[in-house]
Amino acid sequence: MDSIFNRFYSVLLSIYIYNEYVGYTELDKLHAAIINKYPQESEFIASVRKHADDEKKHYLMFKNYFHKNKSMPFVVTKNYGYIDLFIKHIFKTDLQTLDQNELINDEKKFMNLCRLIMMTEFRGMKQVKTLLNSPLIKRNESLTKIFKVVERDEPSHCYPYQYWLKKFNSHEPRLKEKLVDLWIHYSLMLFKVPILLLNGKLKRMKEFYV
């Protein structure tokens, strides 16, 4: 049974470590773009900076978990990245090719990005609560501690993007965005994660993201 549990933990954390890495590296770019475009928005800038720093902190916590267990994460692709999938569906492009300096100069697109980040963080909050209530996580003290830190940090991550949408009287997420959110979540939970769990040929990373 221990091998089954460890397989589940490795798959789960491999997805998390990918998402946290992408999160903080892309937020670093967004933070720089906001400073360049809106240098007077000190509160917004500080909130996005905290968000990026928290994502990096979470990444390092998951990385440390693998170090302590003398293993490496499994290789996962952008098909398991929540914000990657959101960007692909809404902007019709890959996250890695998204020019955030260009995007921030297009008010409509920037508002869309704020909504997507906000929805991703709301989904993350729900997911962490679900995990902390799961017997599979409760039986692992180290993971419980990590996810409690994530749970504590998550609510503040929604704030800067909510603030920006309200500041410019932009609308909340609409039906299309909500449906995309549901599709991404349930396709991951019902199909993609089980595929990873059952894939006996799944390879582990040779080195961590840098």
- Give tens-digit pLDDT for 10-56: 999 999 999 999 999 999 999 999 999 999 999 999 999 999 999 99
CA 92 → CA 76, 95, 152, 165, distances in Å? 21, 9, 33, 22
CATH topology of domain 2-198: Ferritin (1.20.1260)
Radius of gyration of the chain measured on its C-alpha atoms = 17
Alpha-carbon gap, residue 143 to 137, rounded angstroms: 6
Q: What pLDDT was estimated at residue 96?
A: 85
Residue ranges of domains in the chain:
2-198
Mean pLDDT, residues 193-207: 93
Mean pLDDT, residues 67-96: 93
pTM for the full predicted model: 0.94
Q: What pLDDT was estimated at residue 159?
A: 86
What value does the mean pLDDT of the chain take? 93
Exposed e or buried b for every residue in 146-182, given b needs 16+ CB within 10 A? bbeebeebbeebbbbbbebbeeeeeeebeeebeebbe
Q: What pLDDT was estimated at residue 172?
A: 80
Tokens of 44: 């917004």
Burial class (CB within 10 angstroms; exposed 0-12, middle 13-18, buried 19+) of 205: middle
Identify whether the C-beta of residue 117 lies closer than 8 Å to the C-beta of residue 168: no
- List pLDDT tens digits, range 93-105: 999 888 888 889 9
